[in-house]
Structure 1
Amino acid sequence: MFMYRMLLLFFALLLPGRPAVAQSATPGQTPDPLGKVTLSGYLRDAANGEALVGASVFVKSLAVGSTANEYGFYSLTLPRGTYVITYTYLGYEGQETTLTLTTSQTRSVRLALRGVQTGEVVVTGQRPDQNVQSTEMSVSRLDLKTVKLMPALLGEVDVIRSIQLLPGVSTVGEGASGFNVRGGGVDQNLILLDEAPIYNASHLFGLFSTFNPDAVKDIKLVKGGIPAQYGGRLSSLLDVRMKEGNSQRLGVSGGVGLIMSRLAVEAPIVKDKGSFIVAGRRSYGDLFLKLIPEQKDNQAYFYDLSAKANYTLGDKDRLYLSGYLGRDVFAFGKAFKNTLGNRTGTVRWNHVVSSRLFANVTGVVSKYDYGLGVPEGNQAFDWTSNIVNYSLKADFNYYRTPQSTLNFGTGAIYYTFVPGRVTPGNAGSIFRPLALDEQQAVEYHAYLDNEQTFSPRLSAQYGLRISLFDYLGSGTVYDYEGPDGRQKTPVNPRQFGAGKVIKRYPNLEPRASLRYSLTETSSLKASYNRMVQYIHLVSNTTASSPLDVWTPSTNNTKPEHADQLAVGYFRNFRDNAYEASVEVFGKRMDNQVDYINGANTLLNQQLEAELLYGRGRAYGVEFYGKKNEGAFTGWVSYTLSRSERQINGINNDAWYVNKYDKTHYLSVVGMYQLNPRWTFSSTFSYSTGIATTFPDSRYSYQGLIVPNVNGDVRNNYRVPTYHRLDLAATREGKTDPSRRWHSSWTFSLYNAYARRNAYSIYFRQNEANPLKTEAVRLSVFGSVLPSASYNFNF
């Protein structure tokens, strides 16, 4: 019934577009009887054919314009007449052309990169006043050229580490997977790679991200004002788009570093019609281990492969195929082995229904799995777990007028969860087969979103997302009884057959953003989001680990809800060379998941007996200042915030700071281009230490001193303040117009002044005096880490 209603809604949304579809004319056809015609097409890079996401089309005489969508498509409806059309994209040579529009026309434009002036670096890829004039707020875009100039761990450029330098974004420490946005958990970020969800976006336990910079085109982080098209997480959207491949000529790029090497190849399939890119990376720590006799049987490496192809089927149709495969492998001889990885596949079909209506149909499969075990002996076993989702969706952009763009669509996601499965490694193993019940669920959605310009000063984007989640059989379902704060007792078991709906959760998710221009260079913005999250990451450790378990909302575990309100002031200076903003946000959350003290989250058939649920809140202010042009560029961001939970059964039922809370977070990024061949950069990070629970007493048990926490307290202390300075220098090779080969060297110092930042604090008996308990600081990196990497392309 719900899907039937959603289909009715879907077709109802199409109805407003039908008259425009019938009346829009292609060259040579009859003009629109209302005196309006539509100019549409694609904006692409002249050198390689890549879509220019966010490029601008503007008609100065009418003060109207449009921007290209994620695939470079634009549409602009105008009265019949003669106009000067301007096409622009920051960092590219603009084009102006005079057109006499009597009928609708298709005009695709290729923009060429602007020649970089000596001593000048541009650190953004969007229009110069985008931060002031657009309705978007709490949105950050990173240009890969900028990311590649910044200091990196062991010389390897990393997308996730780069976004942690933006306001409102933090991490619980080095070696921690994922990132935290405005006080939320790592599972509350929707991470998409070409529209496929990534469930663990890290390699080597958080030291590197899954995204190969050679394959990435665009990085967009949305912390508030999230459009109705996206849902399923509470805190943020990280939208990563892969390159499409060079449609003009063969291109090869890569690099060799201290711990990994990478290579990317792109080329046309048919020039100007189709192209592909294949990019791979592999670390080689395991190769060095083989040189050490006592370590030769150990393994520690990762690899990933990114690929994408596209082909133009006709004037109105384009097909995209993309995929990702990545894996980490760790082994300690024959004693232990651990593997984990992501796999995704995306198929997309773009169709220009008319000059005003653009359609994108997407099919996605995504899988995250991990395994661990002991290969041999009487303790041999294999433990596996995974989450898989299959999704199909259709999204539409309808350019009603230059002042109004409708975005609408519908889709569904089918989930399967394998929380854990253990099998004996051999016939003599002491382990017996054990498998937790598999779980299934389906999530449906439909949305309608309108971008509306009411006047030159006032614009808005508002919409509604309808979502529904079905928790499905087969399996045995329990209710749980007992006091809060203690393990509960399963009661009332019930059996459900395959595909039967055990529990259904419908939700409405309104969204709205508003922009009011105070002057040509300043504006006020406000946004409201209601987000719903139906799947949860079960982890009772401070930092996310590969062994964390994804689980759906059930009859006991309800969907998480968040309402976020943000208000901001945005201002540009000196012809957009400088920009500044301040944003205040507040977020209220329901059905937050936590755990009883001493909870067992691994291979627990009655896991929900150990879970607790309650409220959350986060609030703060973010300051951001950025210099976009000149020899010296960079930004400063500072976040003052608070993130808390209140859950009955924890901390005497009182509010407590959660494990992601950081009161102060400061980042400073600077880049200086000395000359065309040398660029220097540095980053500095400072933050409050993470909240943790420390013992406040001890007792003796059979001669052992045991640390103890008196009372029901949670996160009563903090580890020491975190701060770190990184430095880097990039030396470009000589430029020879007669050769396509270009190379560069990057040298960096990570943790330049050797700060021993605490990843965690643990307690133990002093070896010299067993009656004395001592606190021990565990640091992932306690010294300077120098590195060098060689990069090339042709």
Structure 2
Amino acid sequence: MKLLLSIIISLIALHSFGQKYVISGYVKDASSGEELIGATILVKETNAGIATNYYGFYSVSLPSGKYTIICSYVGYETMNKTIDLSKNTNFDFVLEPESELIQEVVVGAEALDKNITSVEMSVQKLTLKEIKAVPVVFGERDILKSLTLLPGVKSGGEATGGIFVRGGGADQNLILLDEAPVYNASHLGGLFSVFNADAIKDVKLLKVVCQQNTVVVIICIRLKMKDGNDRKLSVSGGLGLISSRLAAEGPIIKEKSSFILSARRSYADLFLKFSQDTLLKNNQLFFYDFNAKANIEFNRKNKLFISGYFGKDVLKFQEILNMGWSNTTATIRWNHLFTNKLFLNSTFIYSKYLYETMASLQGNSFELSSGIKDFNIKEDFTYFLNNNNTIKFGLQGIHHTFSPGSYSFEFGGFSYSEKTPSEYAWETAFYIQNEQKITKNISINYGVRLTDFILIGEYTAHSNYNDQGIPQNSKYYAKGEVVKNHFDFEPRASANFVINEENSLKISAVKTTQYINLIQNSSGQTPIDYWLPANEIIKPQYSYQYAIGYFKNFNENMFETFIEIYYKDMFNQIDIKDGGNAFNYGYIENELIFGIGRSYGAEVSVKKVYGKYTGWVSYTLSKTEKKFDELEKIGWFPYKQDRNHDISIVGMVQISKKVNFSTSWVFYTGDKITTPSGKYLIDGITDVPVYTERNGASSKSYHRLDISLTLNLKAKPGRENTLNFSIINVYNRRNPFLTYFAAMEGVDNGTMQAHEVSLYPILPSITWNFKF
């Protein structure tokens, strides 16, 4: 830490010699006023270059003189500006799209050679056009499902919401919407994601770390909502077979303030009302979500953004079952320029996830609820020291409220209820990093994060459990009293060695820590999973990850290729013990086992970025294993999502100005499963299965072909009127969704037989999309 601060202080001292002036400003889209993230600013005379930050801001330091500043962004006309620099100067670049067609293809893209020149690695993006073109279930554009087509990213399976990256679990993914965490990003149990693509401006996947946030150990998915068109009013939407969406955006004060509103709802429940079957008529199965955002520019130095999201799922089967889960987020963000070189993003964030279920049958009933709520304050600074050094530093504080669960039931005249008290924690972090250009061809990024997690009362800690699962020792902590304090030091570094304009070599090493844990019965993220904090028994998860990558572009950056090799050690991993009960909220520590994990592999990608034919091929070769002290006889065993081979092929072709075709094919080896070899009887009645090696077998391999055809109907310039036809699972592959075991018929020796349940048959869909 002292060495890092000494380096930064020395850089600032050296910078004080010699008079320099600053050119700074924003890069914007001329048609909407949206800031462009990652636009390239190049000084022709010095060949010095810099990219706009996550908020579209840039800053370049130069001696006095006359310069030509070149601003470029994929899909937009390059803009040149000659500036006679004799004082600090503000200038905003407003870029015109090259054409309506090209703009639609590449919106959300960055510089074509950024994968070569940037020090970032293990970072990937999809443009919104690519996301909209990928064939998806029922034609509903799905951001998270599209990300699973990238190398190193594994889907939890059909109708499963979990995403697994480089051996991490579903809880090791931080998904941010306008910097607010979304704890369950799935609708209808994983059939769709909660993000409406019409409201999203930028999507970025970081496989290693999200520097400015404290609650992630493996990956970060950052989604930024559109700010809203501050030039003109527009309305867009889509009408599909089971859901529809609508969005409106426009100026509040032209070129000063704007808004966007979007809404989406499924309507399978509405069709059920027309059923003649009374058992179906009163059932409900639907989701809805709503996005809203507004912003205002007070002056060049101050901008205010307010955004929010609410989404809910409802599943009701007569009076027997009633389930619901919801996400709520709110973000207030203030951008402030102290000087032309010091940028501040202040953020206040609220996030809440809630799950509830009720079941009743023949006089017996059951109720269950759980949730998590956060209040979060962040201060993120960017200091453009000079053209070779950009320093980022900041503070963050989060107040967590964990509601692990409450449940009650009535059975045979007997009733019982229990509510586990809410648990509270403070999480704080400080980070500092510097992105430094050593020479023309060598760049490094180095930094450190200091994190602190304090579990506070009111709280009762249990320990020393007996064979019946009853704690022999308990200690009560009063409200506000410190229960447990965890602290960690997280260094990180990466480097880029540019070999030439088309080749580069990158390396990275990082330590990350996570203080909250997802307790789950299943492999994927389901509504009944719940979150718990680190305490005296549940230790914080942490990992060390190392990666090396070779990046190469071809044909004037038309083709992007890379191969990354990684290795990761994971510590304090958590699982439910054999026969454990995840719903034993009060004594959950006694239901868990703790261990270590390791994951290693290679990720390969070949992507065609522009032209009539675009798309990519990705391949992941990986191995993930876990080891738990309580299962020491087993030793290392495969993780459930240990799919050794994972292939995705995505292709898009513009057949004509009115016809676009896209296809995707995926293949991956089956999930690991634990199989029973037989069963035995207790008291001659109860069947008890006898299991073999943990995760010692694999389910059937998964592969599927999807296609999509989009027809551009007559529409005026700047408007959209399209019909999309999609077919999911073209050759009707019966892929495994669930594997269960039952005794073989006609055999009395207890032999068990595997049975696989498939979910998706051939699924055609049609969607009408519009914009005016």
Question: What is the TM-score when the length of structure 2 is the normalising length?
Answer: 0.95
Measured in 2, the distance between the counterparts of 1:506 and 1:321 equals: 33
Q: CA deviation at 1:701?
A: 5.5
Q: CA deviation at 1:333?
A: 0.5
- For each residue in 1:18-67, what CA deviation from the matched residue of structure 2 results, as whole angstroms up to 9, or x when unmatched? 999xx9xxxxxxxx983210000011110001110001110122111111
Q: 1:680 to 1:136 in 2, by over 3 A?
A: same
- After superposition, residues 21-170 of structure 1 pair within 5 angstroms as 34-115=18-99, 122=106, 125-170=109-154
Q: 1:581 to 1:10 in 2, by over 3 A?
A: closer
Measured in 1, the distance between the counterparts of 2:347 and 2:408 equals: 37
Q: CA deviation at 1:290?
A: 1.4
- For each residue in 1:158-204, what CA deviation from the matched residue of structure 2 results, as whole angstroms up to 9, or x when unmatched? 00100000000002311211200011101101110000001001101
Q: CA deviation at 1:150?
A: 1.3
8 A contact 1:364–1:391 mirrored in 2: yes
State the partner residue of 1:326. 311
- After superposition, residues 155-304 of structure 1 pair within 5 angstroms as 155-224=139-208, 226=209, 228-292=211-275, 293=277, 294-304=279-289
State the partner residue of 1:357. 342
Q: CA deviation at 1:697?
A: 2.2
How large is the RMSD of aligned CA atoms in angstroms? 2.6
Name which structure has the greater RCO, CA cutoff 8 Å, separation 6+: 1
Matched residue SS, 1:313: strand
State the partner residue of 1:744. 722
Q: 1:488 to 1:768 in 2, by over 3 A?
A: closer
State the partner residue of 2:516. 535
Deviates more, 1:379-388 or 1:627-636: 379-388
State the partner residue of 2:762. 784
State the partner residue of 1:668. 649
State the partner residue of 1:715. 695
Q: CA deviation at 1:245?
A: 0.3
Q: Does 1:760 align with 2:738?
A: yes
Measured in 2, the distance between the counterparts of 1:58 and 1:607 equals: 57
Deviates more, 1:596-605 or 1:270-279: 596-605
Q: 1:774 to 1:749 in 2, by over 3 A?
A: same
Q: CA deviation at 1:222?
A: 0.6
8 A contact 1:119–1:630 mirrored in 2: no
8 A contact 1:119–1:631 mirrored in 2: no
Matched residue SS, 2:195: coil
State the partner residue of 1:551. 532
Matched residue SS, 1:432: strand
Deviates more, 1:369-378 or 1:196-205: 369-378
Measured in 1, the distance between the counterparts of 2:4 and 2:365 equals: 53
8 A contact 1:727–1:752 mirrored in 2: yes
- For each residue in 1:293-336, what CA deviation from the matched residue of structure 2 results, as whole angstroms up to 9, or x when unmatched? 22011110000001111101112000000110000000111011
Q: Does 1:577 align with 2:555?
A: no
Measured in 2, the distance between the counterparts of 1:514 and 1:357 equals: 24
8 A contact 1:691–1:716 mirrored in 2: yes
Q: 1:606 to 1:516 in 2, by over 3 A?
A: same
Q: CA deviation at 1:777?
A: 0.6
User: Which one of the candidate residues 325, 329, 332 is aligned to 1:344?
Assistant: 329
Q: 1:210 to 1:752 in 2, by over 3 A?
A: same
Q: 1:637 to 1:377 in 2, by over 3 A?
A: same
State the partner residue of 2:606. 625
State the partner residue of 1:26. none
Q: 1:710 to 1:348 in 2, by over 3 A?
A: closer
Measured in 1, the distance between the counterparts of 2:103 and 2:295 equals: 37
Q: CA deviation at 1:113?
A: 1.0
State the partner residue of 2:406. 421
Q: Does 1:679 align with 2:664?
A: no
Amino acid at match of 2:587: Q
8 A contact 2:739–2:756 mirrored in 1: yes
Q: Does 1:384 align with 2:369?
A: yes
State the partner residue of 1:27. none
User: Which one of the candidate residues 461, 468, 478 is aligned to 1:497?
Assistant: 478
Measured in 1, the distance between the counterparts of 2:686 and 2:721 equals: 59
Q: 1:11 to 1:520 in 2, by over 3 A?
A: closer
- For each residue in 1:657-690, what CA deviation from the matched residue of structure 2 results, as whole angstroms up to 9, or x when unmatched? 1112110000000001001110100000000100
State the partner residue of 2:464. 480
Measured in 1, the distance between the counterparts of 2:715 and 2:10 equals: 55
Measured in 2, the distance between the counterparts of 1:487 and 1:715 equals: 27
Amino acid at match of 1:493: S
Between Structure 1 and Structure 2, the one with more strand by share is: 2
Q: 1:785 to 1:707 in 2, by over 3 A?
A: farther
Q: Does 1:601 align with 2:582?
A: yes
Q: 1:120 to 1:607 in 2, by over 3 A?
A: closer
8 A contact 1:219–1:239 mirrored in 2: yes
8 A contact 2:519–2:582 mirrored in 1: yes
Q: CA deviation at 1:648?
A: 1.2
Matched residue SS, 1:756: coil
8 A contact 1:120–1:630 mirrored in 2: no
- For each residue in 1:586-617, what CA deviation from the matched residue of structure 2 results, as whole angstroms up to 9, or x when unmatched? 00011000121111011431110111111100
User: Which one of the candidate residues 644, 647, 664 is aligned to 2:625?
Assistant: 644
Measured in 2, the distance between the counterparts of 1:317 and 1:19 equals: 29
Measured in 2, the distance between the counterparts of 1:603 and 1:504 equals: 25
Q: Does 1:730 align with 2:710?
A: yes
Measured in 1, the distance between the counterparts of 2:255 and 2:424 equals: 43
Matched residue SS, 1:709: strand
State the partner residue of 1:512. 493
Aligned length: 769
Q: 1:539 to 1:9 in 2, by over 3 A?
A: farther
Question: What is the TM-score when the length of structure 1 is the normalising length?
Answer: 0.93
Q: CA deviation at 1:481?
A: 5.1
8 A contact 1:349–1:362 mirrored in 2: yes
Q: CA deviation at 1:540?
A: 2.8
Q: CA deviation at 1:381?
A: 4.8
Q: 1:110 to 1:615 in 2, by over 3 A?
A: same
8 A contact 2:172–2:219 mirrored in 1: yes
Amino acid at match of 1:687: Y
Measured in 1, the distance between the counterparts of 2:649 and 2:298 equals: 47
Measured in 1, the distance between the counterparts of 2:18 and 2:260 equals: 45
Q: CA deviation at 1:121?
A: 5.3
Q: CA deviation at 1:383?
A: 2.2
Matched residue SS, 2:633: helix
